[in-house]
Amino acid sequence: MTAAKRNLRDIAYLLIGSVLGALAVNLIYTPLKLTMGGVSGIASIIYQLTGQGGFLPFGVLVMLLNLPLLVLGWFKVGRQFVVKSIIGTITYSLAIDLLVPLTHTWFDTYINTPLDSGYADPLIYCIFGGIIYGLAVGLIIRAGYTTGGTDIIGIVIYRKLRIVSIGRLLLFIDLIIVLSTVYFYRDSRVTLVLYSLIAMYLTSYATDIAIDGFNNKRTLFIISEKNAEISAFVLNHLERGATELKATGAHSGQPRNVLMVVLAHRQVPVLQDFVMQIDRNAFLVISDSREVVGLGFERDLAEYL
């Protein structure tokens, strides 16, 4: 795939993901007062407490809350990561606010219809809301973008303390945000929090599926003249290990070094793009790894982006 086609594909993923995320927020999360994790969850709480747009639109809240985190990320995480986060955040936020005039009556008209019992079932909505929102986030990440937010906090804390994994840090932050609705939404039942937790789990699951199917880890075999630079990138940027294997070309009979790297699926496009940038003649084999056990690989709900 040429660079131009790849860029068009990534832009399409970003736009589709942003629209899907906006639909999930406007049609399900906001009307039902469900809360997602991350900065969007904080924005959701503020949005509900201020009369659903009486203070600021949802998308504007997301952008404003992300600003200090993006500044922190610029100095502590990396400029390329922050630039991608800015683009992803703006696109996602604009999609939410631009679709409000088109969708503000859809929930009552098309979605919130009673069942045979005479009542609408919020569990159905939280299931579909979580799946749709997860697919949206996954497409945005698959395009190489992020919506910034608490990912930056997780990365910064992890690099300072390294007590627990980034995935567990992000899960802990998201749980605090969702559970805080028990205090803020005092007029609501605890079941609202349970629905939000169900949606959050489904979001995590659907995100992984949208990014790269059901597999969690990838093993890469790389043949390149730039193994030293690639190894340094894997160690320093992706914070993973690499193993150099001795091999011999069957046709040429010449000795070659093969680099073996095991990554989380979200990290594969990052390394793939880096390898192609520094060595257009590199040869990569990417295979599914059903299970990886050992140092550096835990069963996290989220991985370093």
- pLDDT digit string, tens, across residues 58-70: 999 999 999 999 9
Residue 43 has pLDDT above 90, yes or no: yes
Residue 184 confidence class, pLDDT cut points 50, 70, 90: confident
Residue-wise pLDDT tens digits, 78-99? 888 888 889 999 999 999 999 9
Residue 57 has pLDDT above 90, yes or no: yes
- Does CATH number 3.90.79.10 belong to domain 217-289? no
Residue-wise pLDDT tens digits, 192-227? 889 999 999 898 888 877 875 654 688 999 999 999
This prediction's pTM = 0.68
Q: Which long-range contacts (CB under 8 A, 24 or more apart) does 235-242 make?
A: 237/78, 237/270, 237/274, 238/263, 238/267, 238/270, 238/271, 238/304, 239/304, 240/267, 240/296, 241/296
d(CA 89, CA 247): 45
Residue 305 confidence class, pLDDT cut points 50, 70, 90: very low
pLDDT at residue number 223? 93
Question: Burial letters for 79-95: b for 16+ Cβ neighbours within 10 Å, e otherwise?
Answer: eebbebbbbbbbbbbbb
pLDDT at residue number 300? 40
> 179, 193 in Cβ contact below 8 A?
yes
Alpha-carbon dihedral angle through residues 142, 143, 147, 149, given to the nearest 10 degrees: 60
pLDDT at residue number 228? 92
pLDDT at residue number 108? 67
Range of 151-165, 181-195, 234-248 with top mean pLDDT? 234-248
pLDDT at residue number 153? 82
Q: What proportion of the chain, given as a percentage, has pLDDT over 90?
A: 37
> 138, 16 in Cβ contact below 8 A?
no
Domain extents in the chain: 3-212, 217-289
Q: How many residues does the chain have?
A: 305
Burial of 22 (0-12, 13-18, 19+ CB in 10 A): buried
Least confident span in 91-105, 121-135, 165-179: 165-179
